[in-house]
Amino acid sequence: MMIAIPELLDAKQVGVVRQIIDGADWIDGNATSGHQSALAKRNEQLPEGSVAAREAGGIVLDALGRSPLFFAAALPLKVFPPLFNRYGEGQTFGTHVDNAIRIQRGTDFRLRSDLSVTLFLEDPAAYDGGELVVEDRFGVQQVKLPAGHAVVYPSSSLHHVTPVTRGVRVASFFWLQSMVRDDGARSILFDLDQNVQRLTGQLGGEDRSVIELTGVYHNLLRRWADA
């Protein structure tokens, strides 16, 4: 399941994040790559755990905590501290799959990467290329969203970033472990949640059907969740 999260950050928040990260020291993007990714990755990123990454990452994490759509889609249990990368002209990230386990350097924090998140931080008109291309069971999908918008997609999918041919692509990226490991189960829960929300708006929260469907949602979550 791939879900776009519109306006995770508003324009003012995007500006604050960019002010923090643009003046920081960037390093080779392979600092966090596994063996397979290192063969295909050509970009730059902020050092993991740097002051700028922590400060900007805190803004992203706060925004995630305020997003009902993100929670409904991801059902997050653990979120890896957000990282930040940029692609200049000619830079790209070839087809790869994300590592199954992500470990935060210098700590005992680790998670199973169920879902990957890309948060776009540059106006798409300011650069050419740089599309996130995700291959899933329904085919190939290209994603290039406005600054402040994010996309959530399965970490198990093959994906790549097309070469940037003009300008600079800037984004935050990170992974999360969901309370519900199975992507199909998460999709069912998401669809059920969205329909419960719609019916609540139409019928009210005290309607018997709304109450019973809410019970079905939570009973399925009890059956499938690890928390």
Where residue 22 sits, what CATH number does that domain have? 2.60.120.620
**Calpha distance 40→38 (Å, rounded):** 5
Residue 174 sits in the same domain as residue 193: no
**pLDDT confidence of 218, banded at 50, 70, 90?**
very high
Residue 83 pairs in a beta bridge with 173
Residue 96 labeled ligand binder:
yes
Residue 79 pairs in a beta bridge with 176
Residue type, 188: I
**Calpha distance 119→174 (Å, rounded):** 9
Residue 100 dihedral angles phi and psi, to the nearest 5°: -70, -35
Q: What is the distance of C-alpha 55 from the center of its chain? A: 18
150 and 8 Cβ atoms separated by less than 8 Å:
yes
The total number of structural domains in the chain stands at 2
Residue 192 sits in the same domain as residue 211: yes
Q: What is the pLDDT of residue 35?
A: 55
Residue 169 labeled ligand binder:
yes
Residue 112 sits in the same domain as residue 150: yes
**Calpha distance 170→88 (Å, rounded):** 9
Q: What is the distance of C-alpha 149 from the center of its chain? A: 10
**Domain coverage including residue 67:** 3-178
- For the stretch 16-63, pLDDT in tens is 999 999 999 999 977 665 555 556 789 999 999 999 999 999 999 999
Mean pLDDT of the chain, nearest integer:
95
Residue 23 sits in the same domain as residue 104: yes
CA-closest candidate to residue 89, choices 22, 29, 167, 170: 167
- For the stretch 107-140, pLDDT in tens is 999 999 999 999 999 999 999 999 999 998 778 9
Q: Does residue 154 sit in helix, strand or coil?
A: strand
Helix (H) or strand (E) holding 203: helix 183-203
CA-closest candidate to residue 21, choices 57, 59, 52: 52
How much of the chain, in percent, has pLDDT values that exceed 70? 96
Residue 96 sits in the same domain as residue 191: no
C-alpha separations of 94 from 36, 40, 41, 147 in Å? 10, 5, 6, 23
Residue 191 sits in the same domain as residue 104: no
Residue 98 labeled ligand binder:
yes
CA-closest candidate to residue 134, choices 145, 126, 142: 142
Residue 36 sits in the same domain as residue 127: yes
222 CB neighbour count, 10 Å cutoff: 9
Residue 103 sits in the same domain as residue 116: yes
- For the stretch 142-168, pLDDT in tens is 999 999 999 999 999 999 999 999 999
Residue type, 65: G
Structure-token match 């929260």, residue found:
205
Residue 137 labeled ligand binder:
no
Q: What is the pLDDT of residue 137?
A: 78
Give me the DSSP letters along 81-109: PPEEEEE-TT-EEEEE---SEEE-TTSS-
pTM of the full predicted structure? 0.93
